[in-house]
Amino acid sequence: MSAAKPKPGRFRRLWGAPIALALLSLAGLIAALVGDGLYDAASYLSLAVPLVVIGWYIARRTR
């Protein structure tokens, strides 16, 4: 099976959410390194987003 040229919309549909989550996680990992207080909160809140996403889609699973 040869790969069809992916249209831009298809790429975004496939990889948009994973890339957004990865960038958010990386920002979270760096935030707590460069500061304390608000930076720490920004860090664990952004790293918690993937967990919330997991919970959301498990709750919405097709039964």
Partner 1 sequence: MTSSRIRTWYLWHKWTSIVCTAFMLLLCLTGLPLVFHEEIDELTGAHPAVAEMPADTPLASLDLIVRNALAARPGEVMTFMSWDDHEPIVYATTAPRVDTQDAFFIMGFDARTGERVDFGNPEEGFMHVMAHLHIDLFAGLWGTLFLGFMGLLFVIAIVSGVVLYGPFMRKLDFGTVRANRSKRLKWLDLHNLLGITTLAWVFVVGFTGVINTLGTPIIKFWQYDQLAEIVKPYEGMPPVTDFASIDAAVKTARAAAPGMNVQFVAWPGTGFSSKHHYAVFIQGETPLTSRLLKPALVDAQNGTLTAMRDLPWYAQALLLSQPLHFGDYGGLGLKIVWGLLDIATIVVLGSGLYLWLGRRKTSLESRIEELERGGLVTQPVPGAAE
- Residue indicated by tokens 């979270």: 28
CA dist 32 and 39 (Å) reads 5
- Residue indicated by tokens 């990865």: 22
Does 9 help bind partner 1 (rule: CB under 8 A)?
no
Identity of the residue numbered 18: P
Residue 1 in tokens: 């099976």
Footprint on residues 10-39 left by partner 1 (CB under 8 A): 10, 13-18, 21-23, 25-26, 29, 31-36, 39
Does 7 help bind partner 1 (rule: CB under 8 A)?
no
Q: Which residues bind partner 1 (CB under 8 A)?
A: 1-3, 10, 13-18, 21-23, 25-26, 29, 31-36, 39-41, 43-44, 47-48, 50-51, 53-54, 56-58, 60-63
